[in-house]
A and B are shown apart, each in its own frame.
Chain A
């Protein structure tokens, strides 16, 4: 029984790691008021970049760095379209998700099916993700830059009046979100399943987006949420034919739970804990 519990916990932590990394990134850019639904795409290009570097040079450190850089670049594209050009953030994010998957699939052709013979260990990623959650919590709630970031997400006009460069903060937050999505991708292709396959992100980016809403934009709750969603994913296989519940339900659970969370917030006629200016473009002098 104990062994079974430990195994389930191990799986939840392993599967939860990319979820936590990506959702911490998305959480930060959403706390700054920017929605980026393109997590799946950024994760995919990150995974490919990491795998490419690791298989050519066998330097996992460089692979991780490049994955984060590529993820950040992809996110900045979204930033440019939504912040500077003020296009619809939801459409742009969806486009980024598809673009990232497509580009990764195309550029990854030469690596298709290849594996890494020296896989990276999973544990450092998991530990880093957990530590990052705590650091981010501290950053958001106990530091001045954290306060600035939150204010930009809650009331950009007021922040602007106080002399905050709203645009710069939002760009930084978006790039941070992309870098963490890229890091999540690197975890997938270097450690979790050290290989490259087109579409290997397998919808994890979407679960990460759902997770941010589910945990109410809190980095600490994101840790629990990631472990919980990781556990659900594992149970869909572990409980196959061992319970009366159809295991497909476990796979659908993250999305169902988000619907429930949103519905509850709606019933209370609030936005839940969403940042007040989430998804709203800001331009000085407009309301």
Chain B
């Protein structure tokens, strides 16, 4: 039904655009996804955003290629550019170098790469980042753990995950300074079998709250089965375990796509002008949302427990619930005053990483290799 409505809308938009504007005024944007679009994870979120963007921009035409292995973006880009794509979004960290190569090969095409840090005159980067949300979820996890051990199933030890796990751990420790975040790596984005066994291992080690960064809902299902609180990631997973999903991270990529494509169309982002274009959109831009499903920042079943849990902020006792809500409001405002990565911060080996009073820049966050105190588990490429 929804699909039919989208189709109708798209057709309507087509009709309007077709009659009012010349054919060459259409802009063709293409999307390359690393996973299948129905994976309820990362690629699904991008594709939902693509559809919303189509709805919002009647002059837009889109095409997508799903389940592209990380080493094989280049031939796909070749094909898309030959097919008339003027804008190419590559939506996985692993596509970074190949996108850069393609940008050199096709100087007239606009490229935009998600979650990386390399840019070119015709290649921008964009990210709707979750680190603020991970911090807020960390606060809740810290309040809900009874054993002081929070389990975390993680895909790959790349900067993005280190940043998120660290933000989460900073939140956990802000409530419970002795708590640990125990990480198991599964070295896969989509592997329900590994995710299940990793989550089971975490439970066996005494973790009584589960969080994760990978592309399936497995961990939420395990939390539901074992009846422990868990946090959703990327997609609305609340319904998968309604009594046990406390909160989570949700994304709204369309906010970025609509802004970016509008600027490509009006010439602001012509090829050659993108060297410094880096979207780093957070709560303030509404590119991300706190919750296990849209409109539900905290599962009502956990509100009481979070209101009872106390933490110390600036020498005063406040409830964890109030703290989460206060920070959520602050970081969603036009001028946030709080950032989880505000110094002084040390890494887990005791080295100072952010001096007092400084806030980490998006670039530093994008290249972050250290992890925060409280994170337990092997971490590849960690500076000693």
Q: Determine the distance from Cα of A237 to Cα of B153 in the docked complex, in whole angstroms.
A: 10
Known: A115-B221, A195-B192. A109 touches B38 (CB 8 A): yes
Asked if residues B201 and A237 are in contact (CB atoms below 8 Å), the reply is yes
Q: Do residues A115 and B217 form an inter-chain contact, with CB atoms below 8 A?
A: yes
Cβ–Cβ contact B193 & A200, under 8 A: yes
**19 A-B contact pairs sorted by A residue (CB < 8 Å):** A4-B204, A105-B36, A113-B39, A113-B216, A119-B225, A193-B193, A195-B218, A197-B39, A197-B216, A198-B36, A199-B190, A202-B192, A237-B184, A237-B194, A237-B197, A237-B198, A240-B185, A240-B377, A241-B378
Contact for A194 among B39, B41, B221, B377, CB less than 8 A:
B221
B192–A240 touching, CB < 8 Å: no
The size class of the interface chain B forms with chain A is: 20 to 34
* CB of A192 within 8 Å of the partner chain: yes
Within 8 A of A (CB), among B178-228: 184-186, 190-194, 196-198, 200-201, 204-205, 216-218, 221, 225
Cα–Cα distance between A109 and B40 once the two chains are bound (Å): 12
- How close is B56's CB to chain A, nearest CB, in angstroms? 25
If the complex has contacts A115-B221, A200-B193, are A234 and B39 also in contact, measured as CB distance less than 8 A? no
Check if A171 is an interface residue, CB within 8 A of chain B.
no
Check A202–B185 contact: CB distance below 8 A.
no
Nearest-neighbor residue (CB-CB) of A230 within chain B: B197
How many A residues have CB within 8 A of the partner chain?
32
Q: Choose one: B36, B38, B191, B378; the contact of A202 (CB below 8 Å).
A: B191
Task: Quote the shortest CB–CB distance from A123 to chain B (angstroms).
Answer: 13
B residues in contact with A236, CB < 8 Å = 197
Interface residue ranges of A71-106 to B (CB < 8 Å): 105
Output the least CB separation between B319 and chain A (Å).
Answer: 33
Q: What is B's interface to A at a CB cutoff of 8 Å?
A: 36-41, 44, 67, 184-186, 190-194, 196-198, 200-201, 204-205, 216-218, 221, 225, 235, 240, 376-378
Q: Tell me the complex Cα distance, A245–B140, Å.
A: 35
Instruction: Give CA–CA (A38, B41) in the complex, Å.
Output: 29
In the bound complex, what is the Cα–Cα distance between A108 and B36 (angstroms)?
11
Which listed residue, A195, A198, A199, A234, touches B197 by the CB 8 Å rule?
A234
CA distance A200 to B201 in the complex (A): 19
Question: Which of B184, B185, B200 has most A Cβ within 10 Å?
Answer: B200
Chain A window 200-214, contacts with chain B (Cβ cutoff 8 Å), 1 for yes, 0 for no: 101010000000000
- A200 contacts B197, CB within 8 Å? no
Residues of A within 8 A of B40 (CB): 112-114
Q: How far is the CB of B329 from chain A (nearest CB, A)?
A: 32
The 10 tightest CB contacts between A and B, nearest first, are: A112-B38, A113-B40, A237-B201, A238-B201, A202-B193, A7-B204, A241-B378, A237-B198, A193-B192, A241-B377
Q: A229 at the A/B interface (Cβ < 8 Å)?
A: no
* Contact status A238-B192, CB under 8 Å: no
**Is A51 at the interface (CB under 8 A from chain B)?**
no
Q: Is the CB of A202 within 8 A of B201?
A: no
- State whether B216 touches A195 (Cβ < 8 A): yes
Inter-chain contacts of A282 with B (CB < 8 A): none
Within the complex, which residue of A105, A113, A192 is in contact with B41, where a contact is CB–CB below 8 Å? Answer: A113
A234 and B200 in contact, given A193-B221, A240-B184 (Cβ under 8 angstroms) = yes
